Amino acid sequence: MPTAAVLLLHGGRAEGPEPPPALNLPALRMRPFAGAVTRAVRGRGVLVAEVRYRHRGWNGARADAARDAEVALGRLRELAGPVPVVLLGHSMGGRAALRAAGDPAVRGVVALAPWCPTDEPVDHLGGRRLYLLHDETDRVTSARQSWEFVRRAREAGADAAGIPMPTGGHAMLRGADLWHRRAAELTAALLSHG
């Protein structure tokens, strides 16, 4: 039985009700992160898994990706019991992770170039540790909105930090090793310190 778990949440679209395609590039982009996290927590009994979305997009008020994250947390609880969980998400997956972070099992979130609209709720984040990593040259999601989310989350009682990344844009391809290493270190630290 695992002693803890990390759930990875890949990016997606604002709108996209159809199921994700068989060749899902956003999901493939998370594979190196899964590998880096697996290496960082080796020997600690940590399950590393990815959330499977039923739909390709967030889809407005339906917040499909966040609902899928909540379903995954429930399935994890059924399989492994009440283990501590860290959510690691990119873009839409970062938004889904932050939205699902109110679950009692969630110890913290590492959000990579997350999509943080100005009206994204924060009241459920009290007592959670959050790390938002963003390259300020990202043209898909806004680093400024990430830093504003961090400020609002702190006001709601979260231990939140915004971490500017020197390169990588939205896809995190330039400087990818730094993104992988930083995400894995922060994830491992969240599992260690609680």
Looking at residues 137-156, what average pLDDT do you find?
A: 98
High-pLDDT (> 90) share of the chain, %:
91
Q: Is residue 151 part of a domain?
A: no
Least confident of 21-25, 35-39, 177-181: 21-25
Q: Is residue 133 part of a domain?
A: no
Element (H, E) at 8: strand 4-9
Instruction: Give me the CATH number covering residue 105.
Output: 3.40.50.1820
Q: Is residue 42 part of a domain?
A: yes
Q: Is residue 17 part of a domain?
A: yes
Q: Is residue 171 part of a domain?
A: no
The tens digit of pLDDT for each residue in 157-168 reads: 999 999 999 999
The tens digit of pLDDT for each residue in 92-109 reads: 999 999 999 999 999 999
The beta strand positions in 51-92, using DSSP E, are 85-90
Which structural domain range is residue 51 located in?
4-121+176-193
Instruction: Give the integer Cα–Cα distance in Å for 112 and 133.
Output: 5
Q: Is residue 168 part of a domain?
A: no
Instruction: Give the integer Cα–Cα distance in Å for 153 and 140.
Output: 22
Looking at residues 3-21, what average pLDDT do you find?
A: 91
What residues does 162 pair with on adjacent strands?
A: 132
Q: Is residue 147 part of a domain?
A: no
Q: Return the residue matching tokens 């995190």.
A: 172
The pTM score is 0.97
Q: Is residue 150 part of a domain?
A: no
Residue 194: the pLDDT is: 53
Considering its fold, how many domains does the chain have in total? 1
Instruction: Give the integer Cα–Cα distance in Å for 135 and 152.
Output: 20
Instruction: For residue 120, give both structure tokens.
Output: 């994204």
Q: Are 29 and 11 in contact (CB under 8 A)?
A: yes
